[in-house]
Amino acid sequence: MDVDLVIQPRWIIPVEPEQVLSDCSLVIHDGRIVDLLDHAAALHRYQPKSLQVLNRHALIPGFINCHTHAAMSLLSGIADDLALMDWLENHIWPAERTWMSEAFVRDGTDLAIAEMLRGGTTCFNDMYFFPDVAAQQAMAHGIRANIGLIVFDFPTLWAENADAYLAKGLALHEQLRHENLISLSFAPHAPYTVSDGPLRNVRTFADEMGLTIHMHVHETAHELRQQHQASGQTPLERLGELGMLDASFMAVHMTQLQDADIARYAATGGHIVHCPESNLKLASGFCPVAACLDAGINVALGTDGAASNNDLDMLAEMRTAALLAKGVSGRADAVPAMQALKMATINGARALGLDHEIGSLQIGKAADVVAIDLSDIETQPTFNPLAQIVYAASRHQVTDVWVAGRHVLNKRQLTTLDMDDLRRRAADWQTRLSR
């Protein structure tokens, strides 16, 4: 049988099932995984147009960065070492009011896509202004994206009020709903920036259209105090009262949780997107990941935006999440290596409602695949390739990336972005933002 591609690595870690396979081949045709079998059988059964022999590598599913503000890569490092609300209200929002434009989002998203692809991220879940531009850049550069249809109460260059945000979001959904690499979700920013009426409308539209909802929730102690002063509730209690919380809901951050919060949220079927490095940098608190997993909550990983991280490195995020969970819970087995990898792959796919399509290397799924070279001295000896990926490997060991079977990173070289042009655009924005 003629096929497009056979990849022969040293190891394959499919994530589902939870195992490490040695000397097996991944067979890809028309952008999908069509077989997974031993090397000899693969070459006997299939005649590939391209054969990739990667005998120093492990193949894993592409990382799913479940919470980003991609265009904010242009703001990386402009306001470091500040608490969240100071960082946001006195530095980030003023910069956005001054510089926000379609060009800003285009160039910032391109910069983020380049970094993510070079680090093994094949899908990102975005929340930012001009989502139409972010979607266009994702499609142009061959990365999968879930585009957030943002909602605020206050005006920005994207829309003047909550009704206008929703109207633009609905129009964008109609425009993009048949695009292969693009999915969409509603993305009301946070409980403190969106009032009850617009949130009810989001819930109604999400139900009608079968879309997920993506929102910052319980990010800081300040947020909880603010909500309690306004209504005597926690943000989660308010969102529950509004009917927002169900299996389509992604609560981002969730650093301020009591046992009762965890139990109530678990009962809704909602997901958590954990952003450990951004939370640490902004001193926002610790998501009790081990307790949430024990309660049956699906926990995925995100980097947040590069303005508060300051990178989009999912390998580092995965390691930080595993180590932090151990320290916070006092249990060395709180998030073992396989669980950490699941949080960075299949758990993100489940949160986005895309686990039928991505998140694991299984026959029938899209061929979103990452090859990591484990021959570097930093990952030697390799007794356990899974543990070395989670606890020792760096993103510079990601050599090849395929999205829907398309080779978007080939031996560390991006195939859909001009790096010199991207450097020039980033330098131009640095000059403008430094004024």
Same structural domain, 375 and 341: no
* Cα 197 from Cα 78, distance rounded (Å): 35
Same domain (yes/no): 43, 129: no
In a domain, 216, yes or no: yes
Q: What is the pLDDT of residue 83?
A: 84
* Integer Rg of the chain from CA: 21
For residue 110, pLDDT beyond 80: yes
Q: What is the pLDDT of residue 40?
A: 94
* pLDDT of 351: 98
DSSP codes, 136-148: HHHHHHT-EEEEE
pLDDT band at 241 (very low <50, low <70, confident <90, very high): very high
Q: Is the pLDDT of residue 435 over 80?
A: no
Other C-beta atoms lying within 10 Å of the C-beta of residue 314: 30
Q: 321: pLDDT confidence band, cut at 50, 70 and 90?
A: very high
Q: What's the rounded mean pLDDT across residues 31-36?
A: 98
Final residue in a domain of this structure, among 323, 351, 379? 351
Judge whether 187 lies within some domain.
yes
Within a domain: 152:
yes
Q: What is the pLDDT of residues 51-100, one digit of tens each?
A: 999 999 999 999 999 999 999 999 999 889 888 888 888 988 899 989 99
Is residue 274 within a helix (H) or strand (E), and if so which, with residue range? strand 271-274
The pLDDT score that the predictor gives to residue 160 is 96
Residue keyed to tokens 């180590």: 323
- Both 195 and 298 in one domain: the answer is yes
Residue 266 lies in a domain: yes
Which pLDDT score is estimated for 107? 98
Question: Residues 128, 129, 132, 133: what is their CA dihedral angle, to the nearest 10 degrees?
Answer: -90
The CATH number assigned to the domain holding 99 equals 3.20.20.140
266 pLDDT more than 90 = yes
Average pLDDT on 172-196 reads: 97
Burial track 54-63 (b if 16+ CB lie within 10 A, e otherwise): bebbbbbbbb
**Cβ burial 383-417 (10 Å sphere, 16+ → b, else e):** eebbbbbbebbebebbbbbbbbbbbbbeeeebebb
Model pTM above 0.75: yes
Q: Are residues 245 and 392 in the same domain?
A: no
Q: What length does the chain have?
A: 435
CA distance 212 to 67: 13
Q: Chain centroid to CA 286: how far? A: 19
End-to-end CA distance of the chain: 60
Residue 47 lies in a domain: yes
**70 and 126 part of one domain:** yes
Share of the chain above pLDDT 90, in %: 95
Is 268 inside any structural domain? yes
pLDDT score of 39 more than 80: yes
Domain range for 399: 2-61+366-404
The pLDDT value recorded for residue 87 is 85
234 and 382 part of one domain: no
CATH code where residue 394 lies: 2.30.40.10
Residue 356 falls inside a structural domain: no
| Residues 55 and 85 grouped into a single domain | no
Q: Is the pLDDT of residue 428 over 90?
A: yes
Taking alpha carbons only, the member of 12, 35, 6 closest to residue 24 is 12
Sheet containing 63-68: order of strands? 63-68, 121-126, 144-151, 182-188, 212-217, 249-253, 271-274, 298-301
Q: If you average pLDDT over every residue of the chain, what do you get?
A: 97
Same domain, 230 and 290: yes
Cis peptide before 381 (omega within 30 of 0): yes
Residue 79: the pLDDT is: 87
Report the percentage of the chain scoring pLDDT > 70: 100
Residue 246 has pLDDT above 90, yes or no: yes
Q: Do both 214 and 338 map to the same domain?
A: yes
b/e map of 275-295 (b: 16 or more CB within 10 Å)? bbbbbebbebbbbbbbbbbee
Residues 105 and 178 in one domain: yes
Give the distance, in angstroms, between the CA of residue 214 and the centroid of all CA atoms in the same chain. Answer: 12
Beta-bridged to residue 410, according to DSSP, are 413
Residues 339-388 have pLDDT tens digits of 999 999 999 999 999 999 999 999 999 999 999 999 999 999 999 999 99
Torsion angles phi and psi, residue 127, rounded to 5: -140, 100
Phi then psi dihedrals of residue 413, to 5 deg: -105, 125
Inside any domain, residue 185: yes
Mean pLDDT of the region 271-293: 97
Please give the pLDDT value at position 286: 96
3-state secondary structure of 354: coil
Q: How many domains does the chain have?
A: 2
> What's the one-letter identity of residue 10?
R
Please give the average per-residue pLDDT across 158-170, as a whole number: 97
Neighbours of 53 (CB within 10 A): 13
Are 226 and 111 in a shared domain? yes
Based on the domain organization, do 337 and 209 belong to the same domain? Answer: yes
